[in-house]
Structure 1
């Protein structure tokens, strides 16, 4: 069975509702969706999915436990991450529960094949382009993260060129906010093999400021090296005809919004990722504050798609929340997503 995963709690519930509505429009109401619990703050999430029989909540600690344990083992092998996090008051692996998305690969997970989308994304076209590519590949992505590998690996690490060539980095790295894969990948034996290589010094190439993304890329790319005949990574952005491939990130300023769709050079985006924008911006907007951020009208379209009467009238002049914060975030990301 094919399905879509996301990761959420009450903090991002407004974004979750928008995402679920966009999935219903572009994938159909029959498309199964599983919401992975980020933590125990789930009251609003449970209320949001209650009227949606195709949506389930995954909040089983036993499903997450082996992946969280693996994450801890990975970062215990990093030369500086744990100590750096402790100095900042982080008692565990930074954003450990973000790694619960790895459970999509678990043999006990509900979907044979899946598309994972962060809660701060919107599906804007059919997801079948991902599932079709899974017929021939193990992991499918669609982004331009290869233009900025510094948010995946520590590009200053001396060992990085020994582990992955520039060509591998170009064709294989991806943003962990959107990827498609299959249940059963990354078995316990494969994870043990990865841990051995990390312990041998390869852990230094990981990027501690985006731990779930860095580790997932390392897992996939290292396994593709080891088992090239049976495990492959396919980035649609690199394989679609150039005139058809679109961007997908809020960091791109040239997209055109039109009636619930977003276009790049006349072509509809498959998904839009509001990467780097804090949930507070969306929650303020949904509370009636007239805050501004890129492609906000598309977010509002899907957030209130089925309940337009609940969309609050924005109060006051449209302003950028905490002046300059969005511009600073987008500049800091330095991503060139289309």
Structure 2
């Protein structure tokens, strides 16, 4: 039985990836093999980092990548309402498809695994998560169930009830930025059945802002795999994980009312903020010193010793320009790759 960790990354999130890898090494409690799933082909820095770590590899199964790319394409290109909405937002019709490469973990080398978004820091041992997979197929630890259901499913209440037939659906949704499951959890037969159901009209309940998250939730619920959320089923002991919460910091570990966090998630904070911070700019990021500690854990001499704050106008221009350019570059690259696959 091989336990492992998957992370979706590319060079855009390099600073966050290094911080995450260092936090795993420092806090996981044991050495755990890690596999990087490629968000796209921008991987020069990632490859160099992998070469420096003996427990980290790059996922290079091109057949699996092509399969899950096409799986997502089949779902979203046949969903007119999603495509119309994305066009209105100024995005291409195949929006954020590389995020679906998280699914490649199902085909990877680990029998049991935990998936981490790159904008995450591990705060404590995770053996208890693997152990929970002895009794459940899908394990999470987040409070997404307290948010508006429309972030996960955006159909009418009647549609949602008809499809999922669940009176407590709200309690079963989760954030797709951190989860644990098993190899081959979705069999080929399950995948075919899901594609048929979505093509028959069930896709109309999917949300658009985070399409991969909506699809993960749909597949877990619709396939009927057993599910456990520490933050719901053991809420008295569960801790928060969102950067917006107030935690105590002790020796670069975060605590929630005396309980050690499992992980901290920087969701929705632009990667450009972390790049600027590591470049010596005085960027206001929650738990900044904790992030910097892990980012430079193996190279403390490279950690910025002082920070400069540009004028408000320069800061706004730089932040806006960096974010837009990063988004444009990723969209162009990913859209070209996926379009080539469709036409070829």
Match of 2:145 in 1: 146
* Contact preservation (8 Å) 1:79, 1:203: no
Deviates more, 1:307-316 or 1:7-16: 307-316
Match of 2:95 in 1: 94
Q: What's the CA shift for 1:169? A: 2.1
Query: Whole-Å Cα distance in 1 between the matches of residues 30 and 13 of structure 2?
Result: 21
User: Among 210, 226, 237, which residue is 1:232 paired with?
Assistant: 226
1:186 pairs with 2:186: yes
Query: Whole-Å Cα distance in 1 between the matches of residues 20 and 8 of structure 2?
Result: 11
1:267 pairs with 2:266: no
Q: Secondary structure at the match of 2:242?
A: coil
Query: Whole-Å Cα distance in 1 between the matches of residues 157 and 196 of structure 2?
Result: 19
Match of 1:312 in 2: 304
Structure 1-normalised TM-score? 0.87
**Residues 216 and 304 of structure 1: CA distance in aligned 2, closer, same or farther (over 3 Å):** same
**Residues 45 and 189 of structure 1: CA distance in aligned 2, closer, same or farther (over 3 Å):** same
Q: What's the CA shift for 1:161? A: 2.0
Deviates more, 1:46-55 or 1:280-289: 46-55
* Contact preservation (8 Å) 1:292, 1:319: no
1:10 pairs with 2:2: no
Match of 1:115 in 2: 114
Match of 1:133 in 2: 132
Structure 2-normalised TM-score? 0.86
Query: Whole-Å Cα distance in 2 between the matches of residues 222 and 293 of structure 1?
Result: 38
* Contact preservation (8 Å) 2:133, 2:181: yes
Q: What's the CA shift for 1:88? A: 4.7
Q: Secondary structure at the match of 2:63?
A: helix
Match of 1:328 in 2: none
Deviates more, 1:33-42 or 1:184-193: 184-193
Match of 2:242 in 1: 249
* Contact preservation (8 Å) 1:79, 1:204: no
Match of 2:270 in 1: 278
Match of 2:31 in 1: 30
Q: How many residues align?
A: 315
**Residues 123 and 196 of structure 1: CA distance in aligned 2, closer, same or farther (over 3 Å):** same
Q: Secondary structure at the match of 2:239?
A: coil
Q: What's the CA shift for 1:319? A: 9.5
Query: Whole-Å Cα distance in 2 between the matches of residues 48 and 102 of structure 1?
Result: 23
Match of 2:204 in 1: 204
1:293 pairs with 2:292: no
Query: Whole-Å Cα distance in 2 between the matches of residues 77 and 167 of structure 1?
Result: 29
* Contact preservation (8 Å) 1:291, 1:318: no
Query: Whole-Å Cα distance in 2 between the matches of residues 256 and 154 of structure 1?
Result: 36
Match of 2:56 in 1: 55
**Residues 177 and 262 of structure 1: CA distance in aligned 2, closer, same or farther (over 3 Å):** same
Q: Structure 1: where are the runs of 5+ without partners?
A: 225-230, 326-338
Query: Whole-Å Cα distance in 2 between the matches of residues 295 and 141 of structure 1?
Result: 23
